Structure 1
Amino acid sequence: MIADWNKSREEKSAGLGHQTNGIRVWCKPPDGWIKINSDAACIPGASQVDVGCIARDDCGRFLRAKTAVLQGQFQPREAEAIGLREALSWIMPWRKTKCIFECDAKMVVDAVNGGSGNSYFHMIIDDCKDIIKHFDEVLVGLRII
């Protein structure tokens, strides 16, 4: 993870880190904010979800990172929601203001910022919303990859 981060810093210094073939890549948050990216992976039939989170400051500098393996069989949308929930829970004791959380699952972002439901997925989203209530300034957005 550190090697990948160092490589991305080198590419940024060389002017390669903002646009690649018209595809938007990570953008730094506004001044005074931090950005936390989360992602999750699950293999159909496997009994675990792998989660990763990284926090960077308004200059793109690495602040901290976390990985976790959670036991259970989940659908991809549930795994992504779990990834966001893990990121929120992980950051909350450390910092509760000016945080932007990004994930690459539109259904998770839409659910956190809007609707409700009664599925297991929505129970995880409700957990996310409950955690968000403990933050002063927080945004949850979609990372375009």
Structure 2
Amino acid sequence: MRPTDDLVEIEQLLARYAVAMTRGDVDGVLGVFSPDGSYSAFGDTYPLDEFPALVAAAPKGLFLVGTPLIEVDGDTATGTQPLCFVEHSAHTMRIGYYNDTYTRTGDGWRLRTRAMTFIRRNGDHDSGRPHAFERTRS
């Protein structure tokens, strides 16, 4: 595969994530991750089995993402992608960026890790309030 092909495939993977989140399509969101994938925010890391509850608890709206900066190294890659989320009812915004790792699988490129960093009005960059999402684990 040529490096440009890798970049286009990863960019399409990230587009699928944004569209699935906008549509509330949990299966679509899960489909962009490798089986050992995880998402980090709110001071914690969530494995894929917690995604349905995490996505259900997330505010609904439009996930606008920018072109990611990606560095490919063989069958792995890293990247950063800017995000502007617009909540659907009040049109309030959250801005920030994702720091990602990717892995090439038999089904193509997949997100392995995705970590959210929020940009606050005061200029601070952080991963969010701890416990913004209440886990239901026993």
Q: What range describes the TM-score normalised by the shorter chain of this pair?
A: under 0.3
Q: Which structure is higher in helix share?
A: 1
TM-score, normalized by length of structure 2? Answer: 0.28
- Larger-gyration structure (1/2): 1
TM-score (norm 1): 0.27
Larger strand share, 1 or 2 = 2
